[in-house]
Amino acid sequence: MIERIVIQKQKEILSQEDIRNRIEIAYTELIEKDQYLLEVDANERSITHRLAIYLEELFPKYDVDCEYNRNGIDPKKLNRLKKPIYSDDTFGTTVYPDVIIHHRGKKENLIVIEAKKTTSGDNSDKEKLRIYKKELLYKFAYFVRLPVGKKFKNDKSFSVQSFIEEIY
Longest dimension (CA), the chain: 59
Strand 63-66, strand 99-103: pairing? antiparallel
- Global pTM? 0.82
Q: How many C-alpha atoms does 158 have within 13 Å on its Cβ side?
A: 16
Look at 64 and 87; give whichever has higher pLDDT.
Answer: 64
Domain ranges of the chain: 16-68+97-166
Query: How do residues 136-153 score in pLDDT, each as one tens digit?
Result: 899 999 999 999 987 666
Which run of H or of E encompasses 148?
none
pLDDT of residue 90: 45
Give me the chain's average pLDDT, please: 84
Is 114 in contact with 144 (CB distance < 8 Å)? yes
Q: How many C-alpha atoms does 63 have within 13 Å on its Cβ side?
A: 17
pLDDT of residue 8: 60
Strand 140-146, strand 93-94: pairing? unpaired
- Assign domain 16-68+97-166 one CATH number from 3.90.1720, 3.10.590, 3.90.1570, 1.10.530: 3.90.1570
Query: How do residues 26-83 score in pLDDT, each as one tens digit?
Result: 999 999 999 999 999 999 999 999 999 999 999 999 999 998 877 666 766 777 665 5
Give me the count of residues in the chain: 168
CA distances from residue 13 to 17, 19, 58, 165 in whole angstroms, order as listed:
12, 10, 14, 22
Is 134 in contact with 109 (CB distance < 8 Å)? no
The SS3 call for residue 127 is: helix
pLDDT band at 105; cut points 50, 70, 90: confident
pLDDT at position 86 over 60: no
Could you give the CA distance from residue 15 to residue 67 in angstroms, rounded to a whole number?
A: 25
pLDDT of residue 87: 40
pLDDT of residue 124: 84
Could you give the CA distance from residue 18 to residue 24 in angstroms, rounded to a whole number?
A: 10
